[in-house]
Structure 1
């Protein structure tokens, strides 16, 4: 028993030393994007309602594609299949393929929104999401490679920090980039069209430089099918967000905290999924009820109360700085947050384990599925909390 307690305390220290800082950093980053969303939520709802349907899918897509890439890089590094350098050709190829994987699902989301009747500024919205996807994918792709390789070189487990940071930076870039393109199109349509043309040209150039072959793209057909299906599933979050955007905006706090809450749930799920995937590939998990994964979840769960409190605190500070409105602690959010984290982690471990048992790589399927589902669970959670706040 003493050995088990000592081992568990070691896991707790690791969670506080490695995972918690990345989770907190991701919160800060998420609130940067949340500041834009909270400030422009009413404008988007009135003038670009189709973006609200696409937004959760775009945010989830960043975590799906690049979180999966981070986990894949981590596994490749441990197995010796990837040199720890950004100059490695496989890094650029993975980034280009990730861009391809990202563009089609967001286009599908846009098409579904149009079919469902959300056609106001439809063409503008399509160009906004395509340009944003290309720009964010380039930045996020190299950031993913840097964080994973940097951690590996310094003997820090990339699975403990890469996924949260990648997902959070994705959220950081997604919303401001969308808002920037909205402001650009309203300021100058000519510059907007030129910007679109330039980004598409860069995308085509990268395809040529990386020399990605058809066979290499087809290797990711499983991941492509997964992210496309999950993009469609994210419409649950999108239509929920569009329908209840007024309630979320009226709660004030949650309009600013929405991206951080979703990314934090996805971060917890991605950490467990990435650790489970690596452990399964290395043969360290003997069965579903193995001690190792549950010790990981228990130790990581002890960070959740801190993160829940910080969401309330950071949210209150940002709201005050932007709107001048003072918000105190909201205890239903603080109390319920760790319970949602526990649910997300158990769900993540279960999905990862049983997919691996069926010879499906968790790096390609589990992390995208978990990230997407976390967005759905998170959006429903935010709406419930918002209703409790608004009354």
Structure 2
């Protein structure tokens, strides 16, 4: 009898275990199915929260990027039609990315400083003559002269090292400096106007001013280079060229010495900006070297030449928005200068990735449609949009971490982000953008046998 009771007890326990297992299994399956079905809701909720939280930022930044894309498109169209200049002046392509980047770096930083001074009351919205305004204007002009000459020497050096056919050092220097001065005459008042308007309308300069200033820099640099080439061609005498060459170098050196000895804001700007901009110039010329190394591919596919300023400009704008926002967050204490991304940093990463997914297909489309309208040989919408999107997402994925590291390390070491983060970040972007765009272009063109 005891054995039967024990047996029945065992059977009940076994059934209890089996029933418990079945019930728990169904509960587990139910929860998993419920979770799977809730994923769209969770994603939708996250996106809804993300868009609600960042709506103003996305709207301002996307509008700025579209405005910049129009400016970069004109620059691309000019470059796409400069094939005769590039053939007649070998090595000229080496200096173009550096010259474009230099304009954005110098005047983007100027716009950032002017906006800051307007907000804290050191400058009046009327931009009346004052010491701080004069120092900012003179600093920008001195930096333009010094960097233009440095770009020319770097470009000639790159051509010699890699065996590129090129124009003389004197021609490089005269074209670079004349183009710098011509574009500065336009960029200075424009930068002041953009800074003032962003201040008056309550726009966030992190999202508006820097990208728009950079776009105008892209737009006016190439026409300035063409005009500089025409001016240099008027100097038919070799002796006259050498006299002008020596004279402008002396003027640039004396101006720089004057700025350093003047002290105050001018000394601070020149001391902090010059080393950074020299590094940026090197990176810009390196980008030009990448492009010049693929000059035959670019000349055979002018729509790719049209895409180069668009791709480089919009990539630099995305990076400058991120750099400016991270710098502002560091100053405001919203994030700490640590090497591990925090919640605010990750949200800013998400903003840039979302904008990148929107803007890269658009600029590929713009490059191709402009080529068709101007009867320039194109690649077709699908190939060029694919090139732009794939290269863009790859580039931005790398640049998110680079900008984050530059922002955190510069702030941690007591450097002014207005003079450090955006110039270095955008210059690294210029260099990597050329390498990424050319590599992806060659890969896709070879796959499509174009």
Give the TM bin, normalised by the shorter chain: 0.7 to 0.9
Q: CA deviation at 1:265?
A: 1.0
- Partners of 2:203 and 2:306 in 1: how far apart? 32
Secondary structure of 1:265's counterpart equals helix
Give the C-alpha shift of residue 185 in structure 1: 4.8
1:165 to 196, 199, 212: 212
Paired residue for 2:91?
A: 50
Q: How far apart are the structure 2 equivalents of 1:178 and 1:347?
A: 31
| CA distance in 2 between partners of 1:149 and 1:343 (Å) | 34
CA distance, structure 2, for counterparts of residue 351 and residue 214 of structure 1: 30
Change (3 A) 1:342 1:162: farther
Judged with a 3 Å threshold, the aligned counterparts in structure 2 of structure 1 residues 229 and 303 are, in CA distance, closer, same or farther, namely closer
Deviations 1:302-347 (A, max 9, x none): 1222211111111011111223545222224324423422332332
Residue 355 of structure 1: which of 388, 410, 415 is its match?
Answer: 410
The offset of 1:144, in angstroms, is 1.7
Matched, 1:143 2:190: yes
Matches within 5 A, 1:178-189: 178-186=225-233
- CA deviations 1:35-79 (Å, max 9, x no partner) are 1111113531x3222322221111111122122222223333333
Mind listing any 5+ residue stretches in structure 2 that lack a counterpart?
A: 1-41
Match runs of 1:106-255 below 5 Å: 106-115=148-157, 116-117=159-160, 120-186=167-233, 214-216=262-264, 217-220=266-269, 221-255=271-305
The number of equivalent residue pairs is 379
Residue aligning to 2:10: none
CA deviation after TM superposition for structure 1 residue 287, in Å: 5.3
CA distance in 2, matches of 1:271, 1:387: 29
Structure 1 position 235, deviation (Å): 2.7
Q: Is the 8 A contact 1:33 1:175 kept in 2?
A: yes
Q: Which residue of 1 aligns with 2:142?
A: 100
Deviations 1:4-55 (A, max 9, x none): 87663234422332000110111111111111111113531x3222322221
Residue 155 of structure 1 and its aligned partner are, at CA, apart by 1.3
TM (norm. structure 2) is 0.76
The answer for the alignment partner of 2:382 in structure 1 is: 329
Name the residue aligned to 1:8: 50
Q: Following TM superposition, by how much is the alpha carbon of 1:292 offset from its aligned partner in structure 2, in angstroms? A: 1.9
Kept in 1, the 8 Å contact 2:71–2:219? The answer is yes
Question: TM-score when scaled to structure 1?
Answer: 0.87
Asked if the contact 2:179/2:227 (under 8 Å) is kept, the reply is: no
The match for 1:342 among 397, 401, 409 is 397
The residue aligned with 2:68 is 26
| Distance (Å, rounded) in 1 between the aligned partners of 2:278 and 2:260 | 21
- Measure how far apart 1:263 and its partner are: 0.9
Query: Which runs of 5 or more structure 1 residues have no equivalent in the other structure?
Result: none
Mean Cα displacement is larger for which, 53-62 or 107-116? 107-116
Distance change >3 Å, CA 292–CA 85, structure 1 → 2 = farther
3-state SS in 1 of match to 2:125: coil
Q: Distance in 1 between matches of 2:374 and 2:169?
A: 30
Matched, 1:278 2:328: yes
Alpha-carbon distance in structure 1 between the residues aligned to 2:177 and 2:144? 9
The DSSP-based 3-state class of the residue aligned with 2:417 is coil
Give the corresponding residue for 1:308. Answer: 360
Q: CA deviation at 1:126?
A: 2.0
Q: 1:77 to 1:290 in 2, by over 3 A?
A: farther
Q: 1:307/1:282 Cα in 2 relative to 1: closer, same or farther (>3 Å)?
A: same
**Distance 1:188-1:7 versus aligned 2 partners, 3 A rule:** same
> Would you say the 8 A contact 1:227–1:368 is kept in 2?
yes
Work out whether 1:73 is the aligned partner of 2:114.
yes
2:128 counterpart SS class:
coil
Q: Distance in 2 between matches of 1:306 and 1:149?
A: 29
Q: In the superposition, relative to structure 1, how do residues 307 and 321 fare at CA in structure 2: closer, same or farther (>3 Å)?
A: same
Please say if 1:375 is aligned against 2:422.
no
Alpha-carbon separation, structure 2, partners of 1:179 and 1:68 = 25
Conservation of the 8 A alpha-carbon contact between 1:18 and 1:161: yes
If you compute each CA radius of gyration, which structure gives the higher value, 1 or 2? 2
Once residues 103 and 276 of structure 1 are traced to their aligned partners in structure 2, the CA distance between those partners, rounded to angstroms, is 30
RMSD of aligned C-alpha atoms? 3.0
